[in-house]
Structure 1
Amino acid sequence: MDALVAAHRKPKQRTLTGSTARTAATLALAGAASATAFEGAGHAEPALTPAQVKAKVDRLYHDAEVATEKYNGAKEKAGEARESLDELRDEAARRTDRLNASRNALGSLATAQYRTGAIDPAVQVALSSDPDQYLERASIADRAGDRQSAAVTGIRRQLGEISRLRGEADDRLEELKSHQAVLRKSKAKIQDKIGAAEDLLSRLTAAQRAQYAAEDGHGNSTAVPRADRAAARGAGPVQAPNARASEAISFAYGAIGKPYVWGATGPSAFDCSGLTQAAWQAAGVALPRTTYTQINAGQRIPRSQLAPGDLVFFYSGITHVGLYIGDGQMIHAPRPGAPVRVAPIDEMPYAGATRPA
């Protein structure tokens, strides 16, 4: 009876057919789509305005330039460590050759003494037909013994020197490995930052990218280099303070339009400190490789006393440098995608200036 009552109370399941089934399916799909859209909205990156893209790209390129200068510094130090290591190894090899020659000479002397020293000296005097001659030879042998002692001392000293050289070589090897690790890390960071910047730029329309290139000198636009070359032709001689500064400026004008490549020092491409180093090298002045070392390579100059040929530096970390050419303008290698060009020094946060000696 209870079972019958329960069966009577159990609702009947209805099968959806026709238009009712289609309506239910549509509502279900719409609900699922809404849920998916809602869930995805929390994860999708919001659309950026061109101004926001430019700000992010600028930051990424600046970060890449910071890593580039660190890469340049590590590369320079790695080169110095490798050169020092090679010199130490060469010197150790030369000293080892001299040590082997000393050992051979000492061995020959010891062998000769062994052959003649097997008989007691008193017996040798008694048996000698010419005691005076024997005593003279014995005196010579004593002096030879002194030379042998000196030779042993010399060998010990050479062993100590070789050990010291090898220890220094081991230290240089560890130093080289450390700089190589920094190189790898900086290179990966540079590539990541540049890749992220290029990805952001790819999201802009062609017109937006063209506008960005025109305003900021990025991309493959040739308008800026062409204008700079025209300005260089019409500028006439630069009133530089000396012949060397004039030569450096002339070199920089000749580099206008050449691409920025991180780590490059010319002649077909440059990064910012590579350009200034190459320009002053053409004038016979050796500058260090990085921005943060170039700023200390010469006389510090206040902004009010800037003269053509001075190096002008930017950002608080001293991560960018250009060559001042007068009238508030500089020639510099801006960043990836932007060729060497003329630009106002006010376009970046000014940090200081140096006049190379």
Structure 2
Amino acid sequence: MPSHRKPRTRMTSSGPAVGVTTAALASVGLFAQGADAAPVVPGQRPSIEEVQKKVDDLYRQADLATQKYDEAKEATATQRATVDGLLDQVAAGTAKLNETRRIIGGYAAAQYRDGGVSPTMTLLFSHDPQAFFDQRRLMGRLSDEQQRTLTTFEAERAAGAKKRAEASRGLAALTTSQQTLRAGKQEVQAKLTAARTLLSTLTAQEKARLAALEQKKQDDAKRRAAELAARQEAAARQAAAAHPKPAPPAGHAPSAPSTPPAPSTPPAPTSKAAEALAFARAQLGKPYVWGATGPASYDCSGLTQAAWKAAGVDLPRTTWDQVKTGSRVATADLEPGDLVFFYDDISHVGMYIGNGMMIHAPHSGAYVREESIYYMPIYGSVRPG
């Protein structure tokens, strides 16, 4: 390790989770509803519907906090690389400056041996050698080589000061990003802990009721997915009818009729989309871990980024940046491989696989799975490529 570099303390994700009791949850408004919902009476247990809404909201907030964490992590990595590069440049500049200083010292030593250090050399070693340039009368007492050396010395010292200032600003920005990273980590942990704690307060009967509500939500989402698939199939048939294949010329045996597509068959993906889909399917069953990009676990945008990278397409890290890549696609025109984004804050993403379904990494405690795109409110979709 270079002498100017000091080992930095590594940031780990194994910090203690934020503990929250049921009483504390109530005190911070975990059971509170939005402005348009009925107020919760203090001491009264929320309904199962309220619990489901609150748990879903906490997971969504955790998704949002995860994207902030991912963004801060990217910024931290970029700033650390910038600072490391600046420190390397400062070290190299310092070495060059010291070498030039050594040469000037040699001039001074030679003058001393010849009868003492001249005022010129005194100026050379002064705090502000630039003062030397302001005294043109003394410049004539230096040789051309000495003048060039002095000019080099002053340029190197100015460049070194500039690089040190840049490094100082970079270190300040890095410190800010690290603080943001730590705050984001704590925010995610708090949201997830709150959701787990809320669920732990339910009785067995309440958990069964919650599971039934979740199943109803899944069934409704699947029904809407089937409706989308039917509409897409009908549109494909209309397009085929509007552009029928020409009849074979007379005297030629007709070719074998093409096999009609099976009902609800999605359009064939492009080669890159097929590769991305194959990768995503291979991750089914792996756990969601916030901030993870594989290969053992993923968060939502980490999965889509890794899948398209396997197809040779580089996507940004966060949902907020991924939604800006490629071309926008209407829900009715979705094709396998397209990215579907959810919620107004664009805090979640999944990969469309056809028939109104997607592969995504849902939330903490869940696994990469197939699910209807209508399970969450859709923000919009894009087609990478």
Could you state the TM-score of these two structures normalised by the residue count of structure 1? 0.71
SS at match of 1:284: coil
Q: Which residue of 2 aligns with 1:260?
A: 288
Amino acid in the other structure paired with 1:191: Q
1:115 Cα deviation after fit: 3.5
Q: Which residue of 2 aligns with 1:157?
A: 155
1:87 Cα deviation after fit: 0.7
Distance in 2 (CA, whole Å) between partners of 1:325 and 1:49 is 36
Q: Which residue of 1 aligns with 2:304?
A: 276
Say yes or no: does 1:295 pair with 2:323: yes
Could you state the TM-score of these two structures normalised by the residue count of structure 2? 0.66
Contact 2:266 2:355 in 1 (8 A): no
Distance in 2 (CA, whole Å) between partners of 1:240 and 1:115 is 87
SS at match of 1:263: coil
Say yes or no: does 1:342 pair with 2:340: no
Say yes or no: does 1:305 pair with 2:333: yes
Taking a change above 3 Å as real, the CA distance of residues 148 and 72 of structure 1, as seen in their structure-2 partners, is: same
Moved more, 297-306 or 90-99: 297-306
From 109, 112, 116, the equivalent of 2:110 is 112
SS at match of 2:295: coil
1:89 Cα deviation after fit: 0.3
Runs (4+) off by over 4 Å: 210-217, 237-240
Taking a change above 3 Å as real, the CA distance of residues 177 and 93 of structure 1, as seen in their structure-2 partners, is: same
Amino acid in the other structure paired with 1:54: Q
Q: Which residue of 1 aligns with 2:357?
A: 329
1:44 Cα deviation after fit: 4.9
Q: Which residue of 1 aligns with 2:182?
A: 184
Distance in 2 (CA, whole Å) between partners of 1:214 and 1:320 is 24
Distance in 1 (CA, whole Å) between partners of 2:345 and 2:92 is 45
Contact 1:262 1:336 in 2 (8 A): yes
Amino acid in the other structure paired with 2:109: T
Within 5 A, what are the aligned runs for 1:192-207? 192-206=190-204
Distance in 2 (CA, whole Å) between partners of 1:195 and 1:97 is 52
Distance in 2 (CA, whole Å) between partners of 1:300 and 1:146 is 66
Alignment RMSD, CA only?
Answer: 2.4
Contact 1:238 1:246 in 2 (8 A): no
1:88 Cα deviation after fit: 0.5
Q: Which residue of 2 aligns with 1:48?
A: 46
Taking a change above 3 Å as real, the CA distance of residues 320 and 176 of structure 1, as seen in their structure-2 partners, is: same
1:256 Cα deviation after fit: 0.8
Q: Which residue of 1 aligns with 2:119?
A: none
1:43 Cα deviation after fit: 8.2
Amino acid in the other structure paired with 2:177: H
Amino acid in the other structure paired with 2:336: P
Say yes or no: does 1:247 pair with 2:275: yes
1:334 Cα deviation after fit: 0.7
Q: Which residue of 1 aligns with 2:169?
A: 171
1:144 Cα deviation after fit: 7.7
Amino acid in the other structure paired with 2:186: A
Contact 2:104 2:149 in 1 (8 A): yes
Contact 1:239 1:246 in 2 (8 A): no
Taking a change above 3 Å as real, the CA distance of residues 117 and 310 of structure 1, as seen in their structure-2 partners, is: farther
Taking a change above 3 Å as real, the CA distance of residues 159 and 238 of structure 1, as seen in their structure-2 partners, is: farther
1:73 Cα deviation after fit: 0.4
Say yes or no: does 1:94 pair with 2:122: no
Identity %: 47
Contact 2:326 2:383 in 1 (8 A): yes
Taking a change above 3 Å as real, the CA distance of residues 210 and 148 of structure 1, as seen in their structure-2 partners, is: farther
Contact 2:279 2:310 in 1 (8 A): yes
SS at match of 1:307: coil
Q: Which residue of 1 aligns with 2:69?
A: 71
1:64 Cα deviation after fit: 1.1
Amino acid in the other structure paired with 1:355: R
Contact 2:48 2:209 in 1 (8 A): no
SS at match of 1:312: strand
Taking a change above 3 Å as real, the CA distance of residues 143 and 276 of structure 1, as seen in their structure-2 partners, is: farther
Structure with bigger gyration radius:
1
Distance in 2 (CA, whole Å) between partners of 1:288 and 1:204 is 39
Distance in 2 (CA, whole Å) between partners of 1:238 and 1:258 is 25
Contact 2:266 2:335 in 1 (8 A): no
Q: Which residue of 2 aligns with 1:11?
A: none
Q: Which residue of 1 aligns with 2:17?
A: none
Say yes or no: does 1:285 pair with 2:283: no
Amino acid in the other structure paired with 1:332: H
Moved more, 198-207 or 251-260: 198-207
Amino acid in the other structure paired with 1:166: R
Distance in 2 (CA, whole Å) between partners of 1:173 and 1:213 is 49
Distance in 2 (CA, whole Å) between partners of 1:170 and 1:214 is 57
SS at match of 2:105: helix
Distance in 2 (CA, whole Å) between partners of 1:148 and 1:309 is 67
**Structure 2, unaligned runs of 5 or more:** 1-39, 117-139, 216-264
**Structure 1, unaligned runs of 5 or more:** 1-41, 119-141, 218-236
Contact 1:261 1:271 in 2 (8 A): yes
